[in-house]
Chain A
């Protein structure tokens, strides 16, 4: 079996976001770009499954839709342990465009499990994984917080409102993963970094797809009012404010 892990290139989560060009694009000065946190967890779990000989996973490939500037993020995924990578050479205009590109690749190269993060920390779309599965007409399982193999078959835990379900679907399928899928993201070791240099990044030109959406402006949330401090000895005053000023209890 082969796993494809979809990765997104996003600003490090501690970045103070600033915008440029009349608030139409992110100001990339000083930003450190990283693998989207959910994708990093997907990759970690995919590699753990490959390490377990009983799973039957033979290879883990990462795929990314983006320009040459995201090469360092792809190399990082290879250093963490992915066997090879595919980069679709295009700006990721919207979720529809990205999903259509990845679906084209899956049509040509057979993958059994396609893993996508629940969302990316930049556009917070939560749509690419579901779209890929529908473009391909294959099952998808969303909010997957665990995946393991039982008798050669992948078994997943999916989070539902107020609980969990243990589910199976036949391969090929898309697993849209969330927190819990792996305990901690795997870190690249020196040996991995060295090996990554000789791994293949296949460069593929995009197919023609018109995006359905476009961001025309960004805005920052309105600043909050200054904090009112209450004496630690007098929590009753806090309750009074919550009761009569905020009216929330």
Chain B
């Protein structure tokens, strides 16, 4: 048996998310006293692939075929399921991001493998196989038994610490034959944000709510985010009003994030908002209402008008950065 991990790349590069997945896979493999095989699909250089070894991958399968340039969940599922069978994988680990959500359930049906989605800890037990997963949008966690022989786990982003190990992985190049009739997804256009820190990747997030009062009041919030190297986010009313783009909406129906630090400015902290941010390691709340529920979720709080507190905070950050 082995543990298989699918490591997505972004323009040929891995990111922290990829290394979290490999660190997690390595820890699971230790529980089973077995090895980790990482699968990469697309054009990734050997110098980049080898980085997966630093987090414990024993073997890296580098799949390259020009037909796999765009994500086609059926084609990707075929490739990963064939490799899983060849590698005799009993646990398959995939990110719980949009790509993973497209692939994991298809792979499940292909391999008759139960899925534990949104895991944030190592399995609680091996036999029976029990995982700890997010339920009720973060208001609870479930102990889920996976009964099938093969298990698929999707890992929540930023939920597992990187563990570096000295690795010496083997790299195997694979160019599978792809049945062209399988490729049904046609990508007509791509719009990518450039030069911005992605909300889901960010270690620090500065987020604004209705307490910001007007879209014109965002500059000091954006300045604070820039100074801290943070991504910007917002609450649902703010994105619904069109004050900020809907990609910034964090909360139950928006993005679910788990940064090290989440700074909530003028956000009251409705249940639906907390559902998207409750896995943050630290939460700072700035709100004029001392009874706002956000203070129950926060470790640090400032009671005050956002428009008065933000400029002072910006000055204070500039002071310590000198």
Contacts and interface: CB of A to CB of B under 8 A. Distances in A.
By CB atoms of chain A within 10 A, which of B113, B145, B295, B300 has the most? B300
Interface string B308-320: 1100110011011
Interface of B: 10, 70-74, 77, 96-99, 101-106, 108-110, 112-118, 130, 133-148, 154, 184-193, 196, 198, 200-201, 203-204, 228, 240, 246-247, 249, 252-254, 260-261, 270-272, 275, 278, 281-285, 295-304, 308-309, 312-313, 316-317, 319-320
Given A13-B137, A122-B135, A130-B73, A213 B105 contact: no
A133 B110 CA distance: 11
Interface stretch (A1-9, A186-194, A241-249): A241-249
Interface of A: 11, 13-17, 19, 26, 37-38, 41, 94-96, 99, 118, 121-131, 133-135, 139-143, 145, 155, 158-170, 173, 176, 178-180, 183-184, 211-221, 224-225, 227-233, 235-236, 238-239, 241-243, 246, 248-249
A246 B299 contact: yes
A227 B285 contact: yes
B97 A161 contact: yes
A169 B317 contact: no
Contact of A235 (B141, B278, B312): B312
Given A127-B117, A131-B105, A248-B261, A225 B299 contact: yes
B192 A163 contact: yes
A159 B98 contact: yes
B114 A96 contact: yes
Given A124-B118, A224-B299, A246-B299, A236 B319 contact: yes
B192 to A, nearest CB: 4
Contact of A220 (B140, B184, B281): B140
B102 A248 contact: no
Q: Chain B's interface: helix, strand, loop or mixed, by majority?
A: mixed
A11 B271 CA distance: 13
Nearest to A170: B184
Nearest to A14: B271
Contacts of A14: 270-272
Main secondary structure of the interface of A (DSSP, over half): mixed
B291 to A, nearest CB: 12
A214 B193 contact: no
A41 to B, nearest CB: 8
Contact of A239 (B204, B295, B316): B316
Given A212-B113, A235-B316, A239-B317, 4 more contacts: A96-B115, A163-B191, A165-B190, A216-B130
Contacts of A128: 105
B106 A134 contact: yes
Contacts of B96: 126
Contacts of A135: 109
Nearest to A213: B114
Contacts of A124: 117-118, 133-137
B140 A127 contact: no
Given A213-B144, A219-B141, A95 B115 contact: yes
A94 B109 CA distance: 13
A181 B106 CA distance: 23
B316 to A, nearest CB: 4
Given A140-B102, A242-B282, A169 B184 contact: yes
A219 B120 CA distance: 14
A54 to B, nearest CB: 19
Contacts of B284: 238, 242
Contacts of B99: 160-161
Contacts of B130: 216
A32 B28 CA distance: 39
14 contacts: A124-B135, A128-B105, A130-B102, A139-B72, A143-B101, A161-B198, A162-B192, A167-B185, A215-B142, A218-B135, A227-B298, A232-B309, A239-B320, A246-B300
A230 B300 contact: yes
Nearest to B230: A249
Q: Which 9 interchain pairs have the tightest Cβ spacing?
A: A130-B105, A232-B304, A212-B114, A163-B192, A142-B102, A134-B109, A127-B105, A166-B189, A143-B98
B186 A169 contact: yes
A157 to B, nearest CB: 9
B302 A139 contact: no
Contacts of A94: 114
B169 to A, nearest CB: 25
